[in-house]
Amino acid sequence: MLSRMRHLFGQGKAQPIVTSSDHPPANPETAPVAADFTFEDATLSGWFRHDSGELLEGFPIHPDDHVIDVGCGDGVFINFCASLGAEVTFADIDAEKIAAVTERLQNSKARAVHPLVSDANPLPLAAGYADKVIAMEVMEHVDAPADFLRELVRIGKPGALYLLSVPDAVSEGVQQQLAPSAHFQKPNHINIFARDEFEKLVTDAGLIIERRAYYGFYWSVWWAFFWTCNQDLSPPWHPLLENWARTWEALLTTRDGPRIKQALDQVMPKSQAIIARKPQAAG
């Protein structure tokens, strides 16, 4: 399960546009202090609920769903959907990532697997293609987020459910003061969305918001520390990052740890997510 957590809550190095792979490591081999706390932190935020079949609380995946992940990166989210037996399509501009995800899903429980190399401008797919549409940490990279989102709406069936996320503006404001200037230039983060701006983007595209989620305070601080550590995204990790990981792990084991995490996630989350629905067709 920890392998599914790889690259969930961070930002990372420069990546091609239309990819959600720009996240820090969080698996047993590469995470600072290889421990289960990275997965526990995510599950406390409502992610990867195998017991209820929800990718995120409020975003269920059913075996008869056709799910598409646009900007799939390393495939962490579409892998979860495949494990529940859904038909899956995954798109990314990086052909090597698509090849790697395709290979990983060959022996999965997915009803069908459809890889797609695309910059999503537009997607070479018919209107009303999918029941569930995922785009995680992509819109901060694209030149025209509204156009990108309209394309996602086009490929969703009437009634389709959407899971969309972007970095939170509070965390991005901290990173702007600490990160190299290239981090906020192409092909990295060229858009920053305040919460009301993100919501307006979604509703202007014609979607109805059903739930909002804020998560990843741990990774907001991790990245604030990372920039001074003079290392790439691989171990051995700087002692500062190791010590922060141990501190957060210790917090989650305390009586009030989950409640403290929830409060901090609201104040300075790494990411903000919206679950929204495409209206049913008239008549």
| Domains of the chain with bracketed CATH | 2-277 (3.40.50.150)
- State the average pLDDT over residues 91-109: 97
Per-residue pLDDT, 134: 98
Q: What is the pLDDT of residues 44-69, one digit of tens each?
A: 999 999 999 999 999 999 999 999 99
Q: What is the pLDDT of residues 208-233, one digit of tens each?
A: 999 999 999 999 999 999 999 998 88
More confident position, 7 or 38: 38
Q: Can you read off the two tokens belonging to residue 139?
A: 């819109």
Per-residue pLDDT, 12: 33
Q: 32: pLDDT confidence band, cut at 50, 70 and 90?
A: low
State the Cα torsion 115-55-122-109 to the nearest 10°: 20
Q: Which residue, 138, 72, 74, is CA-closest to 273?
A: 138
Q: 133: pLDDT confidence band, cut at 50, 70 and 90?
A: very high
- State the average pLDDT over residues 139-153: 97
Q: Which helix (H) or strand (E) covers residue 146, if one does?
A: helix 145-155
Per-residue pLDDT, 264: 98
- State the average pLDDT over residues 15-42: 54
Q: How many residues does the chain have?
A: 283
Per-residue pLDDT, 233: 85
Per-residue pLDDT, 3: 33
Range ranked top by mean pLDDT from 15-19, 21-25, 91-95, 230-234: 91-95
Sheet (strand 47-49) strand order = 47-49, 54-56, 59-60
Per-residue pLDDT, 6: 37
Judge whether residue 21 has pLDDT over 50: no
Per-residue pLDDT, 36: 62
CA distances from 100 to 24, 138, 240, 279 (A): 18, 19, 32, 34
Average pLDDT, whole number, for the chain?
A: 89
Q: What is the pLDDT of residues 7-16, one digit of tens each?
A: 343 433 233 3
- State the average pLDDT over residues 126-144: 97
| CA-angle at 128, arms to 126 and 130, nearest 5° | 100
Q: What's the predicted TM-score (pTM) here?
A: 0.89
More confident position, 6 or 256: 256
| DSSP sequence for 177-236 | HHS-GGGGSTTS----B-HHHHHHHHHHTT-EEEEEEEE-HHHHHHHHHHTTS---SSSS
Q: CA–CA separation, 17 vs 120, rounded Å?
A: 10
Quote the percentage of the chain above a pLDDT of 70.
Answer: 87
Q: 235: pLDDT confidence band, cut at 50, 70 and 90?
A: confident
The terminus-to-terminus CA distance of the chain in angstroms comes to 43
Judge whether residue 152 has pLDDT over 90: yes
